[in-house]
Structure 1
Amino acid sequence: MRAPRLAFLSAVAFAVAPTASAWAVVPLQPHRAVYDLSLDKASDRSGITGITGRMVYEFNGSPCEGYTVKFRMVTEIATTDTSRMTDQQTTTFEDAKGKTFSFLTKSFVDQALDKEVKGTATKEPNGLKVQLEKPQKTSLDLAATQFPTQQLVEMIGKAEKGENFYQTSLFDGSDDADKVMTTTVVVGKPAAAAKDDPELPVLAKLSKDKVWPVDIAYFDESKKDSGEETPEYRISFKLHENGITRDMVMDYGDFSMAGKLVNLSLFDPAPQKTCNQ
C-alpha cells in the first residue's frame, strides 16, 4: 500500500530567517502529530473489510541546518480471508534552500522487510538528478520539480491569496523514488473549527485557527502520453495556516482511509541566527 504523501507534505519547516531560504517565508509550526487510522470505504474489488492503524510524523530542524522528518505508519488490513500488517518507516532531509532532498524508506509486511529505498535528489539546471543507493545503485534524470516543504509553503501562500485551484509537481521519494508527480490542488474557503469538531480537544491553543479544506490529486507524469487521467492517489484534509494538517481522507482508488488527529505536540522553534551563505 502506498504511503500517504501527506506525511511528507505536512512535516515542514517553520519561520525562516531572511538570510536563509528565500522561498520559506510562511511561519510554520514544528510538531509531532499522531493520527488514528480507520477504513473510510472500500469497493468489493478491494476485498478489504476493515483497516485499523496509526500514523505518526515528527519534524525537527533549523533554517541553517535543514529539516528532518521522521514518519511511521502501521496498519492492519483485514480481508474476507485473512489480515496483514504493514509498517512503513521513512526519514527525509530537505536542505534549507530546497535544493537537495534525501530519503530512506523501509516497508515491512507482517514484520518482514519488503522493500527499502534510499537515495538523494538534487536540483540541477536541466532538471532533477536522483542518486539511488537502494534497492540498487542507479542514477535517474527527472523533470524539474519541487520538494515537499516548498509545496506546502506554496499552498499556504496561494490559500492566503484566495487562489483556490492550481497545478504543480512534486518529488517526495515515495514508492520507488523514480518519478515526479503532477498534482492538482483545490483549496476551499477558510473557516474556524466547528464546536462539535472531534479533533478540537487535541488542538488546544490552535482551536481558534482558521483552516482551509484542501483536496490534492496526484498524477503520474510518466503516464501523461498514454492519456491516463485517473489520479494515482488523492488526499483531502484541513490545513492550518501554520502547516498542521488534520481530518484527512486518503483515497487509494479501491479503498480509502480516514486519519483522525489524536495527539499533537508543538515544539519550540530553533533559535534564529544568521546562516553562512
Structure 2
Amino acid sequence: MPLRRRLIAAALTALIAAAPAGFAAEPGAEAMVGHRAAYRLSLDRVRENSDIARAEGAMLYEVVDSCDGWATRQRFQLRLTDRDGQEVETTSDYSTFETKDGRTLRFTLTQTSQGAVSQRIAGEAEVTPEGGRVRYTAPEAKEETLPRGTLLPMLHTIRALAAARANTRLLVVPLFDGTSADGAQDSTTVISAWQAPQAGRFPELAQLGSARMRVAFFDRNPAQGSNGGGASAPDYEVGLRYYANGVADELKMEFGDFTVDGKLQELSMLPNPC
C-alpha cells in the first residue's frame, strides 16, 4: 500500500507554518505565543476506488519563544490500513529554529516507515531581498536557490493572519519550511473572513479572533518560474483555523486519495522568557 510522497511533509507544513518575524517587528508578531498542542488524527473521507480503509494517529507540536527566534518541534505518527487489513505506520520528528526577523531557518526532519528511517532532511536557509539560498547537509550536501519573495513558515502565518484582519482573501508566495529536499514550493492561501471570539473547549482561545484558511502547495518548475499555483493541481492541500495567537485547530489534510482530520485535544501555553 504505497504512501503518497508528500504525506508527512503536508501535515508538517500544516502546523509548522505558525510564527513571527520579530526583530523587524512584523505587525502581529507580538501576538504569537509559545505553546504545546496535541492533536488526534483520524480518517475523514476517501475518494472512490481508494485503497485506504482506516487512518489514525497523533501529532504533538511545541513552539518555544527563545527571544531572538522561535524553536519548534513536531512529532507525527500516522497508521494507515488498507482494505485487505495491511497496515503501514509512518512517523516523523521535525525541528526548526527561525529567527524573528524571518531571515534564517535551521531545520531537521527524520521520517520513518515501519520503524526504518525512510528520509532525513537537514540544513539551513537564508532569505535575502533577492530570494536567498538553502544549504542542505542531508540527504546530501548541496545548495538550492530560493525565489524572490520566499517566506519562511513562521512569517507566512503572520502574514496570513494579517491578511485575514485586513479582509484580504488571497496570499500567493513561495514558501520554504525545510520539509522538502528540493527547495521552496509555491503556495496559495485562501483566507476566510476574520471571526469574532467564540466560546469553545479551550479557555486560552475563547477571547481570541480567528480565521479559517485553505493552503495549497505546488511543486515549483524552475524553467517556468513561480506560477502561484496557476491552473495545475496542487501537490497537497491543508485546511485549518488559526487563532490570533498562532494556535491552529480543526485541521483537514488532503492527500489526494484520502483526507485526514486533525482535532486539537490538549493545549498548554508556555511562559515567555524574554
TM bucket (normalised to shorter chain) is 0.7 to 0.9
Aligned to 2:265: 262
Q: Which runs of 5+ in 1 are unaligned?
A: 272-277
Q: Which amino acid aligns with 2:190?
A: V
Q: Which runs of 5+ in 2 are unaligned?
A: 1-6
| Alpha-carbon shift at residue 253 of structure 1 (Å) | 1.3
Tell me the C-alpha RMSD between the 2 structures.
2.1
Partners of 1:104 and 1:117 within 8 A in 2: yes
**Correspondence 1:169-184 to 2 at 5 A:** 169-176=174-181, 178-184=182-188
Aligned to 1:30: 34
Partners of 2:197 and 2:206 within 8 A in 1: yes
Q: Which amino acid aligns with 1:22?
A: A
Aligned to 2:3: none
Aligned to 2:73: 70
| Alpha-carbon shift at residue 29 of structure 1 (Å) | 1.5
| Alpha-carbon shift at residue 62 of structure 1 (Å) | 2.8
User: 1 CA distance for matches of 2:108 and 2:269?
Assistant: 25
User: 1 CA distance for matches of 2:170 and 2:146?
Assistant: 25
Aligned to 1:185: 189
User: 1 CA distance for matches of 2:163 and 2:266?
Assistant: 28
**Correspondence 1:237-248 to 2 at 5 A:** 237-248=240-251
Determine if the alignment matches structure 1 residue 156 to structure 2 residue 155: no
Determine if the alignment matches structure 1 residue 168 to structure 2 residue 168: no
Q: Which amino acid aligns with 2:153?
A: P
**Correspondence 1:1-277 to 2 at 5 A:** 1-3=7-9, 4=11, 5-10=13-18, 12-13=19-20, 16=22, 20-23=23-26, 25-26=28-29, 27-64=31-68, 66-81=69-84, 82-144=86-148, 145-176=150-181, 178-192=182-196, 200-201=200-201, 203-222=202-221, 225=224, 229-271=232-274
Aligned length: 259
For the residue of structure 2 that corresponds to 1:157, the secondary structure is: helix
| Alpha-carbon shift at residue 194 of structure 1 (Å) | 6.1
For the residue of structure 1 that corresponds to 2:171, the secondary structure is: strand
Comparing 47-56 with 207-216, greater Cα deviation is found at 207-216
Q: Which amino acid aligns with 1:78?
A: T
Partners of 2:153 and 2:176 within 8 A in 1: yes
| Alpha-carbon shift at residue 67 of structure 1 (Å) | 1.3
The percent of aligned pairs where both chains have the same amino acid is 25
| Alpha-carbon shift at residue 72 of structure 1 (Å) | 0.8
Q: Which amino acid aligns with 2:15?
A: A
Comparing 222-231 with 111-120, greater Cα deviation is found at 222-231
TM-score, reference length from structure 2: 0.87
TM-score, reference length from structure 1: 0.86
Aligned to 1:274: none
User: 2 CA distance for matches of 1:193 and 1:23?
Assistant: 23
User: 2 CA distance for matches of 1:53 and 1:193?
Assistant: 29
